[in-house]
Amino acid sequence: MSDSVSVTIDGRSVTVPAGTSLWDAARELGIDIPVLCHSPRMRPVGVCRMCVVDTGARNLQAACVRPCEEGMEVRTDSDRVVRNRRMLLELLMADYPDPSAREASTGDDELLALARAYGVTSSRFEGSRTPEAPRRDASSPVIAVDHQACILCDRCIRGCNELQHNHVMTRSGKGATTRIAFDLDVPMGESTCVSCGECQAVCPTGALTNRALEGLHLVEEETP
Amino acid sequence: MTDTNVSARVVESVCPYCGVGCALSWVVDTGRNRIVEARGRDGAANAGRLCVKGRYGFDYTTHAHRLTRPLIRREDAYPKGALSWDDRGPRRPGGPVDPETVLPHFREATWEEALERVAGSLAGIRDRDGGDALAGFGSAKGSNEEAYLFQKLVRAGFGTNNVDHCTRLCHASSVAALLEGIGSGGVTNIVRDIARADVALITGCNPTENHPVAATFMKQAAAGGTELLVVNTRRPAIADHAAMYVEIRPGTDVAFYNAMMHVIIREGLVDEAFIAERTEGYEALRDNVAAYPPEAVAELCGVSAERITEAARLFGRARAAMLFWGMGISQHTHGTDNARCLIALAMITGNTGRAGTGLHPLRGQNNVQGASDAGLIPMMYPDYQKVADPEARARFEAFWGRPLSPSPGRTVTEITDGALEGAIRGMYILGENPFVSDPDVEKVRKALARLDFLVVQDIFLTETAEFADVILPGSAFAEKTGTFTNTDRRVQVGRQALQPPGEARQDWHIIRDIAERMGLPMDYPDVAAVFDEFAGCTNSYASLSHAVLGSRGRWYPCPDPEHSEGEPIVFQETFPRGRALLVPAQPSPPVEPTDPEYPLVLNTGRVLEHWHTGTMTRRSRALHAISPEGFVEMHPDDAAAYGIGDRDWAAVTSRRGTIRVRARVDDRVARGSVFIPMHFREACANVLTHPAVDPYGKIPAFKYCAVRVERVAVEASA
């Protein structure tokens, strides 16, 4: 097996070590493929499907987990890809809270930024939250939890377990009631959480936010 | 919307807390001169990670208790004594010194009056009683530049080597053993090199609480196949990730490691080539450990001979093994012997100079490495040049243009003794709080009260400042620029994000102004020029400057900083002293063994959310909310035997005093031992600790003294 492979992404060729993901290969070319669940600091898991690209296969492929193959021809911005992303965004926005705590304070809600970029201003779908699931958890003195804003991207879970190795966070429930949970699904402030804040730092949405920023709206000055 | 719009600026800096040295960015609300958020940066030590202190514990900077004007003690506030000490105790809510109880004893003064008073009083004592009647405590929380200027002022301005700092209370014994054994006190391999180790011995430390981000890389290594061998007297959380956890009895480290080495030698697990080429003294070490078969120490250590043998094999068979240790090794009257054993263990198995090996004493304070490098220790000039060496002295006399004292100065605890005896008459304390951090605080109280003159420079009214004649308001970490050297020898720039409040000034300006009034000009255009002068009198930092350090910093040594990050692994070919010296050690009995009157061993330490004497963290909203009060941790069996339940109030008594504190019943502490964190002044662990010190490192035995615990009834707080 060869040590490197060559692929063509949006008409441009790149040679990368075998095993490199399409997302990383695109980044080498300066092509940003949108993501919600993926972060270069983390093991890719391919759960949000926002990074799907067209490799000519029957299904669109999640670029963060799909390894490059020799001679692969990839489109990251075909109509099919864009339509797919719009649909995903519309589904994710269906029950998304307005305002999002992240957008309101630091203005860097990644879901809302993508929705704006793809022109998704409203959703044809209705939310399906079960009423018995408590929406907010304010038991931690430092981190606010809003399950309504959670898109189950698992960044927090990987941040907790695979970056900080604290092994507090997991998923609980199933189907539409699946949600992030702490220990055996106890409130965050009563769990073994050590408040390192990694989950809050990596969360792309308003699900896990810094309580100290509540009521503030940051407008960052240009950094020289 | 009721949201407050904040115009925010992002400043790249480093965390002010521990020795890990995490790179971070602060989001600064420029209009209100405050930090609103901390974000991890991709630093060499942290890869974007932070812990609870770095991420949420920065708001102490803008706490209402900040000192904003110079203060002079009122005439009617003499004789001196502790002012807030009686507001401790179970009926009082926990918390730091309340200025309302202290401020009435002081009056506000202008900088001119305060500086004149400080310089005049210190110079008066110097001219009347000689320089050795003065002493200075600097701080490992200060920058390299501040440490350098402070020791320069004491040495060249006061005319004494009586300058020390809290390294004396943390790793002085490790450094003594390392200087003796290999000729350098710095770590040989960076923390993250653990990823390349087969086995890592993690002993006498509790990294998940005290070096939390370093601990994430240890846990990550364990998940990737590195086998952790955790040895402790109180189960640390990192033991959950260990291949093997060995709980030894307090104070039996030397016997345990001698027995491990016994097995390693007996079973031929030594690296003969390394011993022959890189060490000396092997025969003496071998003959010494021959007397320590595991069977002979099993009972003393409380570990079976089989377990000791198993631990020795795990370590001895590793291709690459790394050693981490902390205060559980160093803070004993035999701390230097403990560290000698670890050095010998690494050397006879050939575990230095390669990837995934080496010696890593985990540094506690953010700049304990740098402050020591900068000469903030009584026996060394910058870069560990000995004050007793006539050539080094001549060099610094020429460099600083002043005659220098040829005799090594007093250490922290010796300075306290000197003040008690009347040999030390005046002190300058910058950013340290010995009244809570030093052993046997009743003794410290008497010593501080006896001084003719004490100036304290700090950001808050500390318990120590209550004894001051003059209090000078300094600047918090985020209010100044300077370099800090982390546990990995990484030199990083902390950048100013805020303005000091009120009339508070940058600390290096205050040192300069005192020095100039005492006849020692310190004319530097900026703090980068101070760094340049410091770097110029060292080999380790000579190639570095603020400009070249940039936003990422460098590991020293770094011969080519334009093209290299510096050296993550040192001593690959030879040690600074040539061959490593193997020093045999014998176990010594504890200074204060338990007896029927004081049947329990007291161990002291820290908790994740707090920092040392709590002056910063107890004024952080989040950290105080998570961890509001002290505790005494007891094994369930001991608690039952003394009739104490979880959260009951207990009186803990040693031969030096009594504190009242709530019990926390938890089997992570061994039977026969109790643990009390050092941060909480109203339940001050150092009321109890023994002031005996290690003969080489002069470090106090914070990890061992005899106490008893009794249940006390306390009515609910008023």
CA distance A188 to A182: 6
Which pLDDT belongs to residue B717? Answer: 45
Which pLDDT belongs to residue B1? Answer: 47
In a domain, A222, yes or no: no
Check B27 against A221: CB less than 8 A apart: no
From chain B, the residues in CB contact with A223 under 8 A are: 9-10
CA distance B25 to B274: 44
Residues A145 and A196 in one domain: yes
The answer to whether B15 and B211 have CB atoms below 8 angstroms apart is no
From chain A, the residues in CB contact with B56 under 8 A are: 142, 195, 197, 212
Residues A109 and A202 in one domain: yes
The 10 Å CB-count burial string (b at 16+, else e) for B431-454 is bbbbbbbbbbbebbbebbbbbbbb
Q: Domain range for residue A167?
A: 96-128+135-213
Q: Which residues contact A118 (CB under 8 A, 6 or more apart)?
A: A82, A85, A86, A89
In a domain, A165, yes or no: yes
SS3 (DSSP) at A126? coil
Instruction: For residue B54, count CB atoms less than 10 angstroms from its CB and return exposed for 0-12, middle for 13-18, buried for 19 or more.
Output: buried
Which pLDDT belongs to residue B168? Answer: 85
CA distance B77 to B58: 34
Which pLDDT belongs to residue B89? Answer: 46
Strand partners, B73: B106
CA distance A215 to A171: 29
SS3 (DSSP) at B408? coil
CA distance B293 to B673: 26
A163/chain B closest Cα distance in angstroms: 7
Chain position carrying tokens 């936003």: B551
Residues A106 and A197 in one domain: yes
Check B6 against A141: CB less than 8 A apart: no
Q: What mean pLDDT is predicted for residues A25-43?
A: 97
List the one residue out of B479, B382, B575 whose CA is nearest residue B66.
B479
CA distance A165 to B467: 45
Q: Of how many residues is chain A composed?
A: 224
In a domain, A35, yes or no: yes
Which pLDDT belongs to residue B718? Answer: 35
Residues A209 and A103 in one domain: yes
Check A221 against B7: CB less than 8 A apart: yes
Regions of chain B where pLDDT drops below 50: 1, 88-91, 716-718
Please give the torsion angle defined by the CA atoms of residues B291, B295, B300 and B303, in that order, rounded to the nearest 10 degrees: 130
Q: Which residues contact B87 (CB under 8 A, 6 or more apart)?
A: B98, B101, B682
Q: CATH code at A180?
A: 3.30.70.20
According to DSSP, residue A162 is labeled I
In a domain, A64, yes or no: yes
Chain A residue with the nearest C-alpha to that of B26? A220
Beta-strand (E) ranges in B276-320? 279-280
Number of domains in chain A: 2
Check B10 against A223: CB less than 8 A apart: yes
SS3 (DSSP) at A152? coil
Chain B residue with the nearest C-alpha to that of A99? B1
**Is residue A103 scored above 60 in pLDDT?**
yes
Chain position carrying tokens 């559980």: B328
User: Angle at CA B109, nearest 5°, toward B108 and B111?
Assistant: 135
CA distance A14 to B132: 70
Residues A203 and A101 in one domain: yes
Q: How many pairs of residues across A and B have Cβ atoms under 8 Å apart? A: 98
CA distance B477 to B38: 14
Check A219 against B5: CB less than 8 A apart: yes
B210/chain A closest Cα distance in angstroms: 12
Residues A114 and A175 in one domain: yes
Domains of chain B as residue ranges with CATH:
8-62 (2.20.25.90), 188-362+577-581 (3.40.228.10), 600-711 (2.40.40.20)
List the one residue out of B216, B220, B200, B184 whose CA is nearest residue B22.
B216
B27/chain A closest Cα distance in angstroms: 8
* Prior bond of B557 cis (ω within 30°): yes
Residues A100 and A60 in one domain: no
From chain A, the residues in CB contact with B25 under 8 A are: none
Q: What mean pLDDT is predicted for residues A9-36?
A: 97
In a domain, A70, yes or no: yes
In a domain, A224, yes or no: no
In degrees and rounded to multiples of 5, residue B560 shows phi and psi of -130, 75
The answer to whether B530 and B493 have CB atoms below 8 angstroms apart is no
Strand partners, A46: none
A212 has a chain B CB within 8 A of its CB: yes
Closest partner residue to B50 (CB to CB) among A106, A197, A219 is A197
The answer to whether B29 and B8 have CB atoms below 8 angstroms apart is yes
Q: Which residues contact B280 (CB under 8 A, 6 or more apart)?
A: B579, B580, B581, B582
B145-191 pLDDT per residue, tens: 999 999 999 999 999 999 999 888 888 999 999 999 999 999 999 99
Residues A119 and A36 in one domain: no
**Cα dist from A91 to A101, A103, A115, B64, B223, whole Å:** 20, 19, 11, 48, 36
In degrees and rounded to multiples of 5, residue B120 shows phi and psi of -65, -45
CA distance B439 to A116: 61
In degrees and rounded to multiples of 5, residue B702 shows phi and psi of -65, -20
* Prior bond of B79 cis (ω within 30°): yes
pLDDT band at residue A128 using 50, 70 and 90 as cut-offs:
low
Check B36 against A216: CB less than 8 A apart: yes
Chain A residue with the nearest C-alpha to that of B240? A166
Q: CATH code at A61?
A: 3.10.20.740
Instruction: For residue A121, count CB atoms less than 10 angstroms from its CB and return exposed for 0-12, middle for 13-18, buried for 19 or more.
Output: exposed
Residues A63 and A109 in one domain: no
One-letter amino acid identity for B559? P
List the one residue out of B477, B572, B610, B671 whose CA is nearest residue B209.
B610
Residues A198 and A104 in one domain: yes
Residues A31 and A73 in one domain: yes
**Cα dist from A39 to A66, A153, A175, B286, whole Å:** 15, 11, 25, 52
Residues A105 and A204 in one domain: yes
A185-209 pLDDT per residue, tens: 999 999 999 999 999 999 999 999 9
The answer to whether B467 and B435 have CB atoms below 8 angstroms apart is yes
Which pLDDT belongs to residue B8? Answer: 93
**Cα dist from A56 to A9, A45, A66, A70, whole Å:** 12, 22, 13, 14
B27 has a chain A CB within 8 A of its CB: yes
CA distance B253 to B201: 13
B13 has a chain A CB within 8 A of its CB: no
B295-346 pLDDT per residue, tens: 999 999 999 999 999 999 999 999 999 999 999 999 999 999 999 999 999 9
CB atoms within 10 A of CB B125: 21
In a domain, A72, yes or no: yes
SS3 (DSSP) at A22? helix
